[in-house]
Amino acid sequence: MLIKEIDSNELTQWLEGEKPPILIDVRTTQEMAQASIPNGKPMPLNTLPVRLDEIPKNEKVVFYCRTGARSAQACMYVAQRGYENV
């Protein structure tokens, strides 16, 4: 299980690379309405269990939120279910 915390500079580099990661926004819909990252897939944390099949296991996935707490929870949740590169 590989869970890595990255900063905005590293994310920018990844997004400019050959194979950019899948971005998943785990904030609330109200937070998403205020601002978002282009190409980020909205998936509020509370919906993750029922939408797990929407997240490919064979690609790099970046979860993001406002402070890092919910994205860390999302990473741990999917890692416990066999995801290796979050």
CB count, 10 Å around CB of 70? 21
Q: Per the domain annotation, does 6 fall within a domain?
A: no
Cα 30 from Cα 62, distance rounded (Å): 20
How high is the pLDDT of residue 2? 62
Phi, psi (degrees; rounded to nearest 5) at 52: -55, -35
- Enter the pTM of the model: 0.90
- In this prediction, residue 38 carries a pLDDT of 87
Residues of the chain with pLDDT under 70: 1-2
Per-residue pLDDT at 9? 95
Domain count, the chain: 1
Q: What are 14's strand-pairing partners?
A: none
24, 45, 55, 65: the active-site residue: 65
Q: Which domain holds residue 60?
A: 17-79
Check if 65 is active-site: yes
Whether 43 is covered by a domain: the verdict is yes
